Amino acid sequence: MKKRILLIEDDLDMQILIINYLENYDFSVKAYDKPLEALTHLESNKNIYDLIILDLMLPQMDGFDVCKKIREISNIPIIISSAKHEIDDKILTYDLGADDYLSKPYEPRELVIRINAILRRTINNNKVIGDFELNEDKMEISFDDYLLDLTKIEYEILHLFLSNNNKVLSREVIANAINSFDYNPKDRAIDMHISNLRAKLGDDSKNAQYIKSVWGIGYKFIG
């Protein structure tokens, strides 16, 4: 699955250069030239990004304040991309929570190397299963590069399915795998949760691609 990058850079030529180069290396990039707009977007979408590339010389507010604001709402890795070369600026960004610093001008290939090095350290627990990416530490599951908005029970059911790909699971087995869930074979609670999960995956129960019903038993997940 493509790793998602948020780029905050007001130099539009530099912005286009970085976007085109990173997309050639199979990254998905969302770019902003105004930091206030980027921060507003990030507050509602902080769980979908794997890394942030941040310029320091920006309109509206400087990159140091932007870095500080990001750290107040998220632990997403930050790479500073700046024409500032002073050691004091570099030290300050690290003190504010940045993970790396690249002084402009630099070869775009070096940026890719730095990104991959950080992602190896921070996302090495992710499991990719078909169209899904599972992060057990964060209890998050992405589908087709989008982070799913799941309830705790939906997460546990989908986690169970992903761990038992192509296996038929009875309703009782599914219920027993869910923490704090009392199974009653007479109610349809499991079916209701799976119906909600199908809706979030865009999976039609009559022609299911992922969660298939097995008559009289339960369900079979095909990742």
State pTM to two decimals: 0.59
CA distance linking residue 165 with residue 193, whole number of Å? 18
Arithmetic mean of pLDDT over the chain: 89
Q: Are residues 15 and 83 in the same domain?
A: yes
User: Mutual orientation of helices 108-122 and 12-24 as an angle, nearest 10°?
Assistant: 60
- Boundary (domain end) residue, out of 67, 102, 122: 122
Is it the case that residue 182 has pLDDT exceeding 80? no
Task: State the amino acid at position 47 in one-letter form.
Answer: N
- Decide which of 122, 139, 174 is a domain's last residue: 122
Residues 201, 183: Cα–Cα separation, whole Å: 24
Residues 33 and 134 in one domain: no
Same domain, residue pair 8 and 104: yes
Cα separation, 149 vs 40, in Å, equals 19
* Same-domain status, 13 and 109: yes
Residues 188 and 87 in one domain: no
Q: Using the 8-state DSSP alphabet, how is residue 50 labeled? A: S
DSSP string, 28-42: EEEEESSHHHHHHHH
The CATH number covering residue 89 comes to 3.40.50.2300
What digits encode the pLDDT tens for the residues 97-130? Answer: 999 999 999 999 999 999 999 988 766 566 778 8
Convert the pLDDT of each residue in 57-86 to its tens digit.
Answer: 999 999 999 999 999 888 899 999 999 889
134 and 169 in a single domain? The answer is: yes
Which residue would you say has higher pLDDT here, 121 or 6? Answer: 6
Residues 164, 80 share a domain: no
Q: Same domain, yes or no, for 147 and 52?
A: no
Check pLDDT > 90 for residue 1. no
> What is the C-alpha separation between 124 and 147, in angstroms, rounded?
17
Residue 16 in this model has a pLDDT that exceeds 90:
yes
End residue of a domain, out of 91, 106, 122: 122
Instruction: Please report the pLDDT score of residue 181 as a whole number.
Output: 65
CATH number of the domain to which 165 belongs: 1.10.10.10
Closest by CA to 154, choosing from 190, 207, 184, 128, is: 190
Question: Tell me, what's the pLDDT at 65?
Answer: 96
Alpha-carbon distance of 39 to 29, in angstroms, equals: 15
Q: What is the pLDDT of residue 134?
A: 86
Top-confidence residue, 2 or 148: 148
* Domain total in the chain: 2
The range of the structural domain enclosing residue 174 comes to 127-221
* pLDDT for the residue 125: 61
Same domain for 92 and 155, yes or no, is: no
Separation of alpha carbons 121 and 117, rounded Å? 7
